[in-house]
Amino acid sequence: MNRRQFLQVSSLGAAGLALGSRLGFADEFADMKKRVGIIGPGWYGKCDLLRLIQVAPVEVVSLCDVDKRMAAEAADIVATRQLSKKQPRIYHDYRDMLKEKDLDIVLVDTPDHWHALAAIAAMESGADVWVQKPISVDIAEGQAMLATARKLGRVVQVGMQRRSTPHLIEARDRVIKPGLLGKIAFVDICCYWHMRASGNPPDITPPDYLDYDLWTGPAPMRPFCQWTHPRGWRAFMEYGNGIVGDMAIHMFDMTRWMLDLGWPKTVSSAGGILVDKASKANISDTQTATFDYDGLKIVWTHRTWGEAPDPKYPWSATFYGDKGTLKASVFNYDFYPLGANKPALSGEPLYEYDKFPEDKTEKDLERQCASAIRWHMQDFLRNIASRGRPVADIEQGYISTTSCILANHSMQLGRSLAWDPVKGEISGDAGANRLLRRPYRSPWVHPEPPAA
């Protein structure tokens, strides 16, 4: 079977997919006329929402953003892309949108510090939820999200779409599952992109079209600067989990999925701001983290300066086995048998321009990821119909998010941490357990797991 045949079989069989065009949806999705709302239709919010519109005849009836310009732009784009051509209702506060209780699906694509409150409120309103990774900024938030989903019976898909990336499914099924790597004892996951913001922009007054107080929500109130909004907020730990929470989670979760792994036994990390000390950014520019499993170590490295060891794989996972090596990223995969100078098997992203020509011109779309988001959305829809658990179920998001947060706590504390998944705490470390929940800015209240 050649690679093209493999992808065709995978799309219909192993992945259970049958992709349709916007005007001719796959049979299994043709009647899924769900009412959809989105909280945070910014960059990736639109990427996610427009992929959903591509694969099912959903109706986007509501969108919410604290940025008036962003909300209006998104509403205009949605009206041109969805079948009804109707403008969705625009809300300023997600709580007002959810009070309507008329949504089947809610997408949560806010900055990370808002994921927990928005996703829980959406579940409580009666909706199934798509929430971007990491699911939370602190571990207790993730626990409350998982408990809410289970108690209410909601289907929750986390935006960890490496689990639905066609060429990575292929790599797993052609290389890892057949045992071509032999014994896998080490996985090197990394990001060497120069993605940490540099410089020291001045504090300024927030623009009048942005409700900065509501944008900040439960996070600490920082002075506003040009990085804060849009898209630059990842420079600050107040709003997320740094590069580990943004980039490591994808590669770590991909590795767990490919190797069918649960919780690591221990997590340890070291690093900090070692080079670019002048920047206003307070996230690390250099960090390593070791996720230790029995007989297997997954080691993360990010460095936002210098060169990447392998320019073809600057953000990737490399699986080392005693019979070969697999390199995998969103752009490629290559399998090298032991001692080989050239890959024996290779793959690249599935582009579907024949079915979705709008991918070619859509602003800011990561085109290599478009099919992965579509496949991820279809898995979400399929499990909404069956009331099953999607491939990136909230529990998987909780495991991967928590593990990455533990890496940051380990770096902060300077010691290795052992997680007890039964007790939901760090074993034998009262000091570390005090970090499980971050303080919330008043009047926002930290979510708690619902009563049994």
Average pLDDT, the chain: 95
Cα–Cα distance, 40 to 21 (Å, whole number): 26
Tokens read off for 236: 């600050």
Cα–Cα distance, 103 to 37 (Å, whole number): 6
Query: Going from the N-terminus, what domains does the chain have, and what CATH number goes with each?
Result: 17-161+373-393 (3.40.50.720), 164-363+397-433 (3.30.360.10)
Closest Cα partner for 247 from 327, 296, 303, 307?
Answer: 303
**36 Cβ neighbours under 8 A, 6+ residues apart:** 49, 52, 58, 59, 60, 61, 62, 103, 104, 105, 106, 107
Q: Determine contact, residues 239/111, Cβ cutoff 8 Å.
A: yes
Task: Give the residues of the chain that fall short of pLDDT 50.
Answer: 1, 9, 11-22
Residue with tokens 């079977």: 1
Q: What is the pLDDT of residue 452?
A: 79
331-351 confidence digits (pLDDT tens): 999 999 999 999 999 999 999
Q: Determine contact, residues 246/240, Cβ cutoff 8 Å.
A: yes
Q: What is the pLDDT of residue 14?
A: 38
Q: Determine contact, residues 190/333, Cβ cutoff 8 Å.
A: no
Closest Cα partner for 118 from 208, 68, 52, 45?
Answer: 45
Q: Kindly provide the b/e burial profile for residues 77-86, where b requires at least 16 CB atoms within 10 angstroms of the residue's own CB.
A: bbeebbeeee
**395 Cβ neighbours under 8 A, 6+ residues apart:** 146, 389
Cα–Cα distance, 331 to 264 (Å, whole number): 27
Closest Cα partner for 170 from 349, 420, 375?
Answer: 349
192-233 confidence digits (pLDDT tens): 999 999 999 999 999 999 999 999 999 999 999 999 999 999
* Number of DSSP helices (H) and strands (E) in the chain, helices first: 13, 16
Tokens read off for 301: 């490295």
pTM: 0.95
Q: What is the pLDDT of residue 18?
A: 36
Q: What is the pLDDT of residue 21?
A: 44
Q: What is the pLDDT of residue 23?
A: 55
Q: Determine contact, residues 264/419, Cβ cutoff 8 Å.
A: yes
Q: What is the pLDDT of residue 246?
A: 98
